Amino acid sequence: MAQNPTYIHFAVPPFPYFLEAGRTVYEPGEQHPSRSRLGIFDLLLVEEGCLFIGEDEQSWAASAGSTLLLLPDRHHYPVKPCEATTSFIWIHFQTVGEWGQSSGGPVYAERERHLRSFHTYPYTIRMPQYGLLPGLLAGSGQARQLTELSRELRSSAVWRQQRLFEEMLQMLDLARQDESSNHAAEIAERTEAYIREHYADPLTNLVLAEELHFHYNYLARCMKRVYGLTPMEYLTDYRLEQAKLLLLKTELPVAAVAERTGFESIAYFSRRFTHKVGLSPLRFRKRYLR
């Protein structure tokens, strides 16, 4: 049986999207079918009994009160028949964003590719492949609601199902973060929010430390852990993204764009923009002119 915890990581947005849900009951002697590379994620929430199931080289005895996430590109097979009546809710979902698997900390999406594709920084949803169902989720009845909604009109059910599914993902994500990770994430998000609000101001390491009441080195560690960037790196990238918007949506001169996005000089702005984008600010703007 698998011993070391394995985590599945999803870069969002875009968020994983719900496909369908149902409930299955196996009597003693029955077992999960063997299947391979279905192309969808299959989240199992075991209600009673124990499901003996394997995926490639791993296997689990998924007992009542546990969750198991089967991956879309693997072979799933029965390890042995159920020994008692076993029921579980299954939820099929998919994602068009990056996802990965690890036995350690978060695996961050490749930032530049994510920015090019979705025009925003990725957040990493981290959930265990196998673990106990969080207490809040266990008592919410949301999994049952997902299955019941399949009997209603699709025009209303599809929106409610996606909302319920995302709320469940949030519970699974937040429940798996240890206390230190939670604190690091909170500090990183506070730092990010401050940078986004004040990016046009002359921000420095000292200013961030004074405004956020933490030593800059600690802020940098938290940001690096959660976003893969230091605060100053995040600030520069965010300023450049805002500059792109101004170049595309306004007729402001390049010097005014540099000033409005917090750069100390047009020369420095042009140098950083060209290094990041591969085009000068003027060439970037002209590429989209008709």
**What pLDDT is recorded for position 174?**
74
Two structure tokens written together for 269: 């702005």
- Residues spanned by CATH 1.10.10.60 within the chain? 179-290
> Is 80 exceeded by the pLDDT of residue 209?
yes
Convert the pLDDT of each residue in 5-55 to its tens digit. 788 889 888 999 999 999 999 999 999 999 999 999 999 999 999 999 999
Least confident of 44-53, 140-149, 242-251, 268-277: 140-149
Least confident of 103-112, 210-219, 240-249, 281-290: 103-112
- Residues spanned by CATH 2.60.120.280 within the chain? 7-175
> Is 50 exceeded by the pLDDT of residue 126?
yes
Strands 50-55 and 123-128, by their bridges, are unpaired
Band the pLDDT of 64: cuts 50, 70, 90: very high
- Mean pLDDT confidence for 210-217: 95
**What pLDDT is recorded for position 191?**
95
**What pLDDT is recorded for position 9?**
87
Long-range contacts of 260-266 (CB under 8 A, 24+ apart): 260/200, 261/199, 261/200, 262/199, 262/200, 262/201, 262/202, 262/203, 262/235, 263/239, 264/202
Nearest to 102, CA basis, from 1, 9, 225 = 9
**What pLDDT is recorded for position 104?**
60
> Is 90 exceeded by the pLDDT of residue 136?
no
Which of residues 17 and 176 earns the better pLDDT score? Answer: 17
CB 129 within 8 A of CB 6: yes
Band the pLDDT of 231: cuts 50, 70, 90: very high
> Is 50 exceeded by the pLDDT of residue 273?
yes
Percent of the chain at pLDDT > 90 equals 64
CATH architecture assignment, domain 179-290: Orthogonal Bundle (1.10)
CATH architecture assignment, domain 7-175: Sandwich (2.60)
- Mean pLDDT confidence for 188-200: 93
**What pLDDT is recorded for position 105?**
57
